[in-house]
Amino acid sequence: MYKDLQDFINSFLLKDPETGQYFRGRIQTGFLSKNHPEMYRAVLENSKFLPESAILPERLYCIINSIIEKPRCPCGKEVKFGKQERKYRTYCSINCEFATSNLQINSKKYCKEVLGVDHIFQSSEMRSRRDKTWQDKYGGHPTKNKEVQDKKNKTMNERFGGNAPMCSEAIKEKTKSTLKSRYNVESVFNLPKVREKSLKNFREFGLDKMKEAWHSKSSEEMDIIVQKREVTNQDRYGFKYYSATPESINIAKAREAAKLADGTKHIELAKAARTNSIKFNRPNYNQRHLPDKTFNLRTNEVRYTKFLTYCNHVRNYSLEKIADIVGMDITSISNDFKKYNITLKSSYPISKGHREVLNFIKSIIPDQVVVNDRSSLSNTELDIYIPTKNLAIEYNGIYFHSYKYLPSIEVRKKHFLKTSECRSLGINLFQIGELDWTCPIRNQIWKSLLKSKLGLFDSVLNGRSTKIIQVSRKEADRFYNSNHLQGAGVYSVNYGLVQDNELVSCMSFKQISKGIWELNRFSNRINTSVRGAASKLLKKFKDNNIWTKIITFADLRYSYGGLYKVLGFELDHEVDYSYYYTDRRTIFYKSNFRKVKLKKLMGDSYSDSKTEFELVLGGPRYRILFDAGKLRFKIENTSTTL
């Protein structure tokens, strides 16, 4: 079997035996496991000595070369597999290569024979050449150059959250762990050799005598020194402490101004950045979800713009594909294209669902349809716009319009603000969600709504020719699940209209409190217009029930509440946008994720210190999405008192 596996790799997967190059499409895990499952399992079985994270080319290399354990460096450590070289490296590091190979010997030999010294920088000629290069490049020693210092500080901040590696808690813990395992101490200054060397340096520079003299003073002597210092400062500056002088304050202000001029954030923001760096390893709280690779890429503007341009212009990747690659949200990627003035070149100008809605509209009306209209609204576009009907349609893909983290207020209100602007311009805006459009039942309901808005019906009935009946809860549920976008709801009183023993319209109410009711559902049969149905059913309810007020809501995704105004309702107030959760298959109401329910749902992984959003969005399953808000209407009965 091992020989057969080697033959399979050499004949089917290996493109060039000399360079070790494979057919790229064939060494993808998905391709191999799907098309050649037996061989894929054999590859895993014969390379099980490798870690699970090992890439497929490394496993294939081991099988071709009959390697049964991971190669090691002469020092004993395992060596890495070179992705570019397509083979294992000889040494674990450059230091090991220098120490164990002839590089060190050859370097010393060259220095001795050519320069007459043991080390290259022992030569005055080489030192002068180095200093001249530094002078030309940096104007002196590199560490004294402000640009180099800023670059170093930026790199240190990105990697360690401060101006030195020891600012990182991870480095501190690693240092302590290494010292503990090697020398059984927690600090390097607890080592006798280090202490002796430190003391030797103190003695050479006389610092030990100063330290000895200072610490040998009694508390009374220290008080006298402090008093003398205060008197001296008072005589010189007029203040007990130099830091209180105008000169010191002005210097501090100048330093702060210089920091601000250099682009350094305000001290409070810097403190917040340090706190975020410690907690989330990111200076910005909103970047905490980014993978390390993406975060480091985005900090380098030149590399990041080249990456975005390459992905979109060369590889023809869509925004969704780029977002998946870097682990970011589609909106953030789109904003980055705008920020860096990168022209977006897309192979798919509109999505599949968007195209289906467009084709449906074009199939039922002859009017001109504008796609991706940017002229009607101030700062955004309309996916589909029919100017002659004042009708606009947005297709909201579940990936593009849901988020793995809690976005900014502007993003949350996006649908709400677009609807508000359309209302002010007299444009009827329908916002179709992907999960509605891909559901066979709700797809037909949406098509019926679109046709009714355009004045198109399969059948038109007169309400007078229908008969009013009391509808059971079960029958109402069945009717709404087939004819209403929200499906069945919670209600206690249901009235319907029937013709030829078939239910063609239904209206349902639920009691909120004594005398106050909510008109919870109303719908006609899809593709059917029943003239006067709503007024006939509402009158039936009013005549047969005791009520002081009826309220109802219009979902701004597809209604501005025009019908309720005709029925005598008046606008009570606008309800702001709300949020839901989704697993990209189903929409879940936020009430399902209250902390009481989350505690039972999450078990041991639940934490009281975390918010609802952190608990729900912190896992891999759920994303958050936002609606367009609602309008609340009311009608009051002034003739009835309870």
Q: Which two tokens stand for residue 228?
A: 């003398």
Q: Which two tokens stand for residue 218?
A: 């009694």
User: Considering Cα of 423, then 424, then 427, then 433, what sign does the dihedral take?
Assistant: negative
Position 261 scores a pLDDT of 62
Position 237 scores a pLDDT of 80
Give the mean model confidence (pLDDT) for residues 184-188: 82
Instruction: Give the confidence band of 349 by pLDDT, cuts at 50, 70, 90.
Output: low
**Does the pLDDT value for residue 104 go beyond 70?**
no
d(CA 121, CA 129): 10
**Distances from the Cα of 59 to the Cαs of 48, 54, 56, 175, 470, in angstroms?**
9, 7, 5, 34, 71
User: In this predicted model, what pLDDT tens digit does every residue of 360-374 receive, in sequence order?
Assistant: 999 999 888 888 887
Report residue 284: phi and psi, to 5°: -115, 130
> Mean pLDDT of all residues in the chain?
83
Residues 6+ apart with CB under 8 A from 158: 296, 299
Q: Which two tokens stand for residue 249?
A: 């304050």
d(CA 539, CA 532): 11
**Does the pLDDT value for residue 633 go beyond 80?**
yes
Give the mean model confidence (pLDDT) for residues 99-116: 69
User: Considering Cα of 426, then 431, then 432, then 436, what sign does the dihedral take?
Assistant: negative
**Does the pLDDT value for residue 176 go beyond 50?**
yes
Q: Side-chain half-sphere of 296: how many Cα atoms within 13 Å?
A: 7
Residues 6+ apart with CB under 8 A from 127: 121
Longest dimension (CA), the chain: 114
Instruction: Give the residue carrying structure tokens 């002839």.
Output: 102
The answer to whether the beta carbons of residues 363 and 380 sit under 8 Å apart is no
Position 541 scores a pLDDT of 95
User: In this predicted model, what pLDDT tens digit does every residue of 48-61 receive, in sequence order?
Assistant: 888 887 887 788 78
d(CA 422, CA 382): 10
Among candidate residues 580, 522, 530, 525, the one with its CA nearest the CA of residue 553: 522
Q: Left (φ > 0), alpha (ψ -120 to 50) or beta: where does 625 sit?
A: beta
Q: State which amino acid sits at residue 539.
A: K
Position 264 scores a pLDDT of 53
**Does the pLDDT value for residue 292 go beyond 90?**
no
**Does the pLDDT value for residue 308 go beyond 80?**
yes
Q: Is 140 helix (H, G, I), strand (E, B) or coil?
A: coil
Q: State which amino acid sits at residue 339.
A: K
Q: Left (φ > 0), alpha (ψ -120 to 50) or beta: where does 568 sit?
A: left
Position 465 scores a pLDDT of 92
d(CA 156, CA 168): 10
Calculate helix-pair angle for 292-299, 319-326, nearest 10 degrees: 110
Highest mean pLDDT among 56-65, 348-357, 381-390, 503-512: 503-512
β-strands 570-575, 516-524: how paired? unpaired
The answer to whether the beta carbons of residues 606 and 615 sit under 8 Å apart is yes
Report residue 352: phi and psi, to 5°: -60, -45
Q: Which two tokens stand for residue 101?
A: 């190979």
d(CA 456, CA 528): 9
d(CA 480, CA 476): 6
β-strands 579-582, 587-589: how paired? antiparallel
Q: What is the CATH number of domain 352-445?
A: 3.40.960.10
d(CA 406, CA 579): 11
Across 176-185, 493-502, 583-592, least confident range: 176-185
Q: Where are the domains of the chain?
A: 2-99, 292-339, 352-445
Looking at per-residue confidence, does 10 or 437 come out higher? 437
Report residue 639: phi and psi, to 5°: -90, -10
**Does the pLDDT value for residue 346 go beyond 70?**
no
User: In this predicted model, what pLDDT tens digit does every residue of 41-50 receive, in sequence order?
Assistant: 887 888 888 8
Give the mean model confidence (pLDDT) for residues 536-547: 94
Q: What burial class does residue 331 get, using C-beta atoms within 10 Å of its C-beta: 0-12 exposed, 13-18 middle, 19+ buried?
A: middle
Looking at per-residue confidence, does 395 or 141 come out higher? 395
User: Considering Cα of 235, then 239, then 240, then 245, what sign does the dihedral take?
Assistant: negative
Position 347 scores a pLDDT of 45
Position 493 scores a pLDDT of 95
Highest mean pLDDT among 43-47, 422-426, 601-605: 422-426
β-strands 516-524, 549-555: how paired? parallel
Looking at per-residue confidence, does 533 or 167 come out higher? 533
Highest mean pLDDT among 19-23, 26-30, 222-226, 298-302: 298-302
Across 315-319, 430-434, 603-607, least confident range: 315-319
Q: What burial class does residue 202 get, using C-beta atoms within 10 Å of its C-beta: 0-12 exposed, 13-18 middle, 19+ buried?
A: middle
Q: Is 425 helix (H, G, I), strand (E, B) or coil?
A: coil
Q: Starting from the edge strand earliest in sequence, which strands make up the sheet with 428-433, in order?
A: 370-373, 382-386, 391-396, 428-433
Q: Is 512 helix (H, G, I), strand (E, B) or coil?
A: strand
Report residue 266: phi and psi, to 5°: -55, 150
Q: Which two tokens stand for residue 292?
A: 């390390």
The answer to whether the beta carbons of residues 491 and 506 sit under 8 Å apart is no
**Distances from the Cα of 612 to the Cαs of 232, 318, 423, 617, in angstroms?**
59, 32, 33, 8
Position 265 scores a pLDDT of 46
Q: Which two tokens stand for residue 474?
A: 């079960």
User: Considering Cα of 329, then 332, then 338, then 339, what sign does the dihedral take?
Assistant: negative
Q: Which two tokens stand for residue 306?
A: 């080249």
Position 525 scores a pLDDT of 96
DSSP lists the bridge partners of residue 382 as 373
Instruction: Give the residue carrying structure tokens 């992984």.
Output: 605
**Distances from the Cα of 326 to the Cαs of 55, 159, 298, 397, in angstroms?**
19, 19, 10, 20
Q: Is 640 helix (H, G, I), strand (E, B) or coil?
A: coil
